[in-house]
Structure 1
């Protein structure tokens, strides 16, 4: 009863402040009054009963709707609190480093994940260039980039997103996934073919002993090179070899510019029977037949350019990479027999 006497209880409910709902409520009220009037005309007592029922219905409706509004308000308030709390917890515990800067590029806030990357150093209030010059440069270079970029920092790999409009930087450590990707890239298969360009011409004027010595020398050099690079080497013919390797080995060979070609050419030239090699290497994809055909095509290209060189091309590469080719170009053979 006390609650019924409170002024706040009889305030217009929020839902009735809506214009459309208010029109519907007025319409229902008028309809109820019409029904009560008709009941009075028929019978006075019936009219009183109907009128009282209408009042009771209106009262109960107000009480019920008030309770629904309170429950809804409480639910929304509780939900808002939980969402806000979840956001705060996420900022503090999520495995993404968050760095906030002011317009002077001073650090105003970092979450615990970002602080761990800086160790025990206190960086709040410092200019980012003072806290870490390398990171400051990377962020500055990507300030206008709206997409995330992969960066290297502190010997780790990160996906970095810079929101320049609010001076917030996000860093996600992807070192583990980058290492998995590198392992996959390094373990892709490479198929190669090695051909002794002028073997027939050189051995025509040599006796069997010298031919055997030359073959042994070349085979030993190739075997040692293959072992050093972690490759599989198989002699197919006296002047033709087959190679299986991984892209990790290919990267190392390209880094060294295939010094094997110079070594064999210079050593055999001193013995007055200069020998040069042509190599075709193919990588990428999982179709071994396609790789084999591409390695043959690369070898043919090396021979067509005069030999004494290496041609490297991947399945998806539009252009080949060339190494060597230091001797005078002359087309020794166009295809390996």
Structure 2
């Protein structure tokens, strides 16, 4: 041990000196060389003895000073404390500790002179600055506090260890037993049950309730059915965390329940975790349920400090057959329109045929209602310039204005209608949105976190194919004072939007999509004129085929990177992504291209892979079959690596469900 080291060293030196003198006397003087060797050895040993004496005196002086600072009464008091106490010097070595420290932390060892951090894993500097630290030691959890003493040439730190093991055990148990509200609803229950037989309804109800009872049997919570398709549950954290770790397997089990052997049930689940009261938990659970339904259903949503966590969402949204909600929305919108002086419309940045077409369709209806309408578009950053030129030429009344003009014109008595997006960051003009006093949102994209939360009317229908379809249904329910029809160019614009997003009535097409197209045809829409809006130049076609030819297949996904720049790259890239879906065994396609300092990814699928989930991992969003994202401050090569990682992660999660 360090405190015995000087004495032992002194004894060894004396023994060595005595042995050498004895040997010299026995050998005798034979030669001068031996004399010199003896003299040199004696001097060396003598110097070592002097150094050992000095070192021993310094150590004793240090211990004496230490004892002086810790008077006998104080030392006895600290030694009798029921908590471990230790003192370390400026070299972070133990110079004193009480008996309970030796038992609890030293485990019976003599730690005098040993390094403090070898026994206690605490950063001393952090402890000194913060004043305290929580540290697990030998299976217990200690709250460690420090007090520093400096006097003359001495500096030492007194450490107090308070055993908080029981406190943290109680806290952990309380945290695990904290109750949370969970709301479970059956998606589109009324629609899918509408034509079912009574026996099928009864069987479905029994299977659903058995599934939910089995789900709750693994917890000590309870569940209450509040309506034909809604259940409220109270679940403790310990069980809810296990359900989360299992990625809500009830979602997969629900899909196995099929009405008449055809139509699978899907659940939407809102979880109110992290609330301080049951009332707050219920509010959070309802918010999460709204988010799940807004993203198409068949998923569980949990609100976190940084946004939301999503589980599931692998099924396609089921089309709603009832138009009662659309009729109510149309009536409320018309009342708001008639009470406004003027109406401004805008879509998302880099507007496409769906965004511009929906705005044009509404503008045509507003003209019949006798209201002045303006569509805010940036013509230099738009993918539907051909449509804008045609409508602008045929209407000839200044329908399209740039966003800056709209920002200057809009007043407190005007309203703003946003179509084909519900995200504040994606609108054509954020300033125009912020200046508007009355906002209406019409969108079909699956709900994102940064949605517009102050809209007077928020018509969000993720089951709809596209915004143009939603607008077509709305304008049918407007009460017009005359029999005038919307102009054919407005009907063409709406039909162009429908044909774009459905890929000529192939993707995301439901019964209501064809009904909307039939209505537009009746309004005078010209399918040939609409088809011409999709025509490309020969150079654009060459660029599209160049992207397709560069594609690589990874995990049944086609990935292509455009290594060139062109003015129409935003138009060509999505078309190339559509073309790549025609390759055998390709579940999804991704085209990566760069505009300025931004790397863009356009994603498409036929439904076998949810590209929205993949794009959300990269900060984007969209639909299950159509999504995109934008990455700032990166390269195309790094974007490809990030995309491959997101694809593999999505595949892994899908296989675990």
- Please report the TM-score for the alignment, with normalisation by the length of structure 1: 0.61
Residue 147 of structure 1 is matched in structure 2 by: 131
Does residue 88 of the first structure (1) align with residue 75 of the second (2)?
Answer: yes
Instruction: Give distance in 2, aligned partners of 1:326 and 1:307.
Output: 9
Shift, 1:226, TM fit:
0.9
Quick check: 1:107–1:124 contact (8 Å CA) kept in 2? yes
Instruction: Give distance in 1, aligned partners of 2:124 and 2:262.
Output: 60
Quick check: 1:100–1:169 contact (8 Å CA) kept in 2? yes
Match of 1:107 among 94, 99, 105: 94
Moved more, 193-202 or 102-111: 102-111
- 1:302 counterpart SS class: helix
Residue 39 of structure 1 is matched in structure 2 by: none
- 2:111 counterpart SS class: coil
Quick check: 1:157–1:174 contact (8 Å CA) kept in 2? yes
Quick check: 2:89–2:157 contact (8 Å CA) kept in 1? yes
Does residue 245 of the first structure (1) align with residue 235 of the second (2)?
Answer: yes
Residue 282 of structure 1 is matched in structure 2 by: 272
Instruction: Give distance in 1, aligned partners of 2:117 and 2:278.
Output: 51
Residue 311 of structure 2 is matched in structure 1 by: 323
Shift, 1:308, TM fit:
1.7
Moved more, 117-126 or 159-168: 159-168
Shift, 1:292, TM fit:
2.8
- 1:96 counterpart SS class: coil
Instruction: Give distance in 2, aligned partners of 1:128 and 1:96.
Output: 17
Match of 1:227 among 209, 217, 223: 217
Instruction: Give distance in 2, aligned partners of 1:152 and 1:330.
Output: 52
Instruction: Give distance in 2, aligned partners of 1:89 and 1:308.
Output: 68
Quick check: which has more Rg, 1 or 2? 1
Does residue 306 of the first structure (1) align with residue 296 of the second (2)?
Answer: yes
Instruction: Give distance in 1, aligned partners of 2:247 and 2:141.
Output: 28
In the alignment of these two chains, the number of paired residues is: 248
Residue 110 of structure 2 is matched in structure 1 by: 122
Task: Give unmatched runs, 5+ long, in structure 1.
Answer: 1-82
Task: Give unmatched runs, 5+ long, in structure 2.
Answer: 1-69, 149-154, 326-459, 462-657
- 1:327 counterpart SS class: coil
Quick check: 1:199–1:239 contact (8 Å CA) kept in 2? yes
Quick check: 1:194–1:279 contact (8 Å CA) kept in 2? yes
Residue 265 of structure 1 is matched in structure 2 by: 255
Residue 294 of structure 1 is matched in structure 2 by: 284
Quick check: 1:146–1:162 contact (8 Å CA) kept in 2? no
- 1:236 counterpart SS class: strand
Identify if the C-alpha distance between structure 1 residues 86 and 245 changes in structure 2 by more than 3 Å, giving closer, same or farther: farther
**CA RMSD, 1 decimal:** 3.6
- 2:110 counterpart SS class: coil
Note the 1:128-277 alignment, pairs <5 A.
128=116, 132=119, 135-136=120-121, 138-139=122-123, 142-143=126-127, 145-162=129-146, 166-265=156-255, 272-277=262-267
Quick check: 2:301–2:308 contact (8 Å CA) kept in 1? yes
Shift, 1:253, TM fit:
2.4
- 1:312 counterpart SS class: strand
- 1:261 counterpart SS class: helix
Shift, 1:167, TM fit:
4.5
Quick check: 2:188–2:318 contact (8 Å CA) kept in 1? no
Identify if the C-alpha distance between structure 1 residues 318 and 128 changes in structure 2 by more than 3 Å, giving closer, same or farther: closer
Residue 401 of structure 2 is matched in structure 1 by: none
Quick check: 2:270–2:292 contact (8 Å CA) kept in 1? yes
Quick check: 1:95–1:172 contact (8 Å CA) kept in 2? no
* CA offsets 1:101-156 (integer angstroms, 9 cap, x no match): 345544332222221223223333334465x4xx33x3468456433122333332
Higher relative CO (CA 8 A, sep ≥ 6), structure 1 or 2? Answer: 1
Shift, 1:231, TM fit:
1.6
- Please report the TM-score for the alignment, with normalisation by the length of structure 2: 0.33
Quick check: 1:229–1:252 contact (8 Å CA) kept in 2? no
Identify if the C-alpha distance between structure 1 residues 217 and 259 changes in structure 2 by more than 3 Å, giving closer, same or farther: same
Shift, 1:232, TM fit:
0.3
Instruction: Give distance in 2, aligned partners of 1:251 and 1:208.
Output: 38
Quick check: 1:143–1:163 contact (8 Å CA) kept in 2? no
* CA offsets 1:247-290 (integer angstroms, 9 cap, x no match): 33323322332222233235659x54322211112245565444
